[in-house]
Amino acid sequence: MSLTYDEFYNGRTGLTVGVNKILFSEETPYQKVEVYETDTWGNLMTIDGMVMLSERDEFVYHEMLSHVGLFAHPDPRRVLIIGGGDGGTAREVMRHSSVQQVDMVEIDEAVVRASKEFLPEVGDWNNPKLNVLFEDGIQFVKDIDDPYDVIIIDGSDPVGPAEGLFESNFMQACYDGLSENGVLTAQTESPWVSDYHPSMKKVFSALEDIYEVSKMYLAYIPLYPAGMWSFSFASKGADPLSNETLSRVEEGLNNFDTELKYYNPEVHRGCFALPNFVRDIID
């Protein structure tokens, strides 16, 4: 007998991963959270049968969701993460020396509990900049009093509790909760999965309507459907490809206390290059 984790998209196309054992499985009030020990990817977390991260590949998603937006902002001090319960996005955000406070609003405490126990290297939980709140992110954004410099939408797929994160009124509430030079980044699904195209179109056209600058970018994530993942960047003016941003990337990375595994100045520029079929989805 051999255990496998199996996830399907586009009909019967799927990913299969060899599993040694199940480490965690809980039906929470919001979703089903599971962690598997795999044969070659370290521990792997899934939510409602969709891969969130493995210990081996999580660096791609977390570096790309964080640094592309953070470096586009001239001086990010206050950062809000919606979702992100595994802690990886906050870990990357807190590498930026300008950042003073990170509010992470995760709806489901079970995600944080499972991550602390079974993905202990992913989060930087004892960092004094980090403030974890177990609340509904959509409501939290509506109630923002003290604006954020950067908001990062690190939710799961647009089914279940994360569905509202792809809505136009949520993107407007984020805009209203951002400071003058505010920047937003969000995970926005795989261009190869046709079921996601309506959500991708919806969220991207909302960003285009509401924000002064909006661009899609891509990263290679081996355990996500088809291995190609899209993210969206939006801002009140900051341009991720300006010379100012590009110098900030060079200089900022030199000041990090560790070398990243994916993100670098060339990747920052290159990730905004969209293949024609991806452009066609959002145009």
Catalytic residues: 154
Confirm or reject binding of residue 257 to a copy of itself (CB under 8 A). no
Among 145, 180, 257, 266, interactor with a copy of itself by CB under 8 A: 266
Confirm or reject binding of residue 50 to a copy of itself (CB under 8 A). no
Confirm or reject binding of residue 263 to a copy of itself (CB under 8 A). yes
Among 51, 53, 60, 206, interactor with a copy of itself by CB under 8 A: 60
Query: In this structure, how many other beta carbons lie within 10 angstroms of the beta carbon of residue 136?
Result: 16
Count, residues near a copy of itself per rule CB under 8 A = 43
Confirm or reject binding of residue 264 to a copy of itself (CB under 8 A). yes
CB 53 within 8 A of CB 35: no
CB 187 within 8 A of CB 217: no
How is residue 234 written in tokens? 């939006």
| Binding region for a copy of itself (CB under 8 A) out of 112-120, 173-181, 199-207, 214-222 | 214-222
Confirm or reject binding of residue 72 to a copy of itself (CB under 8 A). no
Residue given tokens 């126990």 in the structure block: 117
124/195 with CB nearer a copy of itself: 195
Among 27, 49, 220, 247, interactor with a copy of itself by CB under 8 A: 220
Confirm or reject binding of residue 270 to a copy of itself (CB under 8 A). yes
Confirm or reject binding of residue 180 to a copy of itself (CB under 8 A). no
Strand order through the sheet with 228-235 = 130-133, 101-105, 78-83, 148-154, 178-187, 228-235, 213-220
Confirm or reject binding of residue 237 to a copy of itself (CB under 8 A). no
Q: In 130-212, at which residue ranges do the beta strands (DSSP E only) sit?
A: 130-133, 148-154, 178-187
255/276 with CB nearer a copy of itself: 276
Confirm or reject binding of residue 243 to a copy of itself (CB under 8 A). no
| Binding region for a copy of itself (CB under 8 A) out of 121-129, 131-139, 231-239, 255-263 | 255-263
* Alpha-carbon span 31 to 6, nearest angstrom: 18
DSSP state of 40: S
How is residue 161 written in tokens? 């509790």
Interface of this chain with a copy of itself, residues 122 to 151, rule: CB under 8 A? none
| Binding region for a copy of itself (CB under 8 A) out of 33-41, 88-96, 125-133, 199-207 | 33-41
Confirm or reject binding of residue 251 to a copy of itself (CB under 8 A). no
How far is residue 172 from each of residues 177, 185, 205, 210, measured CA to CA in Å?
9, 13, 12, 6
For residue 183, give every residue at least 6 positions away whose Cβ sits within 8 Å of its Cβ, in sequence order, or none.
Answer: 69, 70, 72, 73, 76, 149, 150, 151, 233, 234, 235, 236, 238
Confirm or reject binding of residue 218 to a copy of itself (CB under 8 A). yes
Number of residues written out for the chain: 283
* Alpha-carbon span 278 to 269, nearest angstrom: 17
Q: Which residues bind a copy of itself (CB under 8 A)?
A: 2, 4, 6, 8, 10-18, 39-41, 59-60, 192, 218, 220-222, 226-228, 259-264, 266-267, 269-277
